[in-house]
Structure 1
Amino acid sequence: MHNQAALILVDIQNDFLPGGALACYEADGILPGVQALVKRQLFACHIATQDWHPANHISFVTQHEGKQAFESIRLYEQAQTLWPVHCVQGSHGAALAQGIDWDKMDLILRKGCRVDVDSYSAFQENYGPDGERPSTGLAGYLKERGITSVYIAGLARDVCVLWTAQDAKSHGFHTTIIWDLCAPVTPASDETVRQTCRDLGIGIVLSDDL
Structure 2
Amino acid sequence: MSGQFRPALIVVDLQEDFCPPNGSLAVPSGRDVIPVISTLLSLPFVLKIATRDWHPPDHVSFAANHAGKQPYTDAVTIVNPHNPAETYESRLWPVHCVQGTPGAELVPELPAASLDRVIDKGTDPRVEMYSPFYDPFVAPRVCDSGLAAALRDARVTHVYVVGLAADYCVRYAALDAVREGFETYLVEEGTRAVDAAGWPECRKGIEAAGVKVVGMEAPEVQRLRAATGV
Determine if the alignment matches structure 1 residue 199 to structure 2 residue 208.
yes
Q: Which residue pairs with 1:188 in the alignment?
A: 197
Structure whose CA Rg is larger: 2
Show the counterpart of 1:9.
11
* Equivalent in 42, 45, 54 of residue 43 of structure 1: 45
Task: Compute the displacement of 1:109 (Å).
Answer: 0.1
**Aligned: 1:157 with 2:166:** yes
Shift of 1:126: 3.6
Q: Is structure 2 residue 140 aligned with structure 1 residue 125?
A: no
Q: Would the aligned equivalents of 1:126 and 1:134 in 2 still touch at CA under 8 Å?
A: no
1:130-166, Cα deviation, whole Å (9 max, x unpaired): 6535321111111111101100000000000000111
Aligned partner of 1:144 in structure 2 is 153
* Counterpart mapping for 1:85-96 below 5 A: 85-96=95-106
CA contact (8 A) 1:3 1:44 kept: no
Distance 2:36 2:59 in 1: 32
State how far apart, in whole Å, the 1-side matches of 2:69 and 2:148 are: 36
Distance 2:216 2:11 in 1: 13
Say if 1:123 and 1:6 are closer, same or farther in 2 by CA, change over 3 A: same
Alignment of structure 1 residues 11-90 onto 2, 5 Å = 11-18=13-20, 19-39=22-42, 41-70=43-72, 71-76=74-79, 77-90=87-100
Normalised to the residue count of structure 2, the TM-score between the two structures is: 0.85
2-structure distance, mates of 1:88, 1:102: 20
Aligned to 1:93, the other structure's residue is in SS state: helix
- Please give the secondary structure, in 2, of the residue aligned with 1:157: coil
1:28-52 C-alpha deviation (Å, 9 max, x unpaired): 111111112212x321110000110
What letter corresponds to residue 196 of structure 1 in structure 2?
G
Structure 1 stretches of 5 or more lacking a match?
Answer: none
Matched, 1:113 2:123: yes
Letter in 2 for 1:144: D
Instruction: Specify whether residues 158 and 133 from structure 1 end up closer, same or farther in structure 2 by C-alpha distance, changes over 3 A only.
Output: farther
The gaps in structure 2 that reach 5 residues or longer are: 80-86, 222-230
Percent identity, please.
35
What is the number of residues matched between the two proteins? 207
User: 1:111–1:125: 8 Å Cα contact kept in structure 2?
Assistant: no
Q: Spell out, residue by residue over 1:85-119, the C-alpha distance to the aligned partner (whole angstroms, 9 max, x if none).
A: 00001111101012111121111001111111121
CA contact (8 A) 2:78 2:126 kept: no
Aligned residue type for 2:46: A
Amino acid at match of 1:37: L
Whole-angstrom distance in 1 between the partners of 2:145 and 2:68: 32
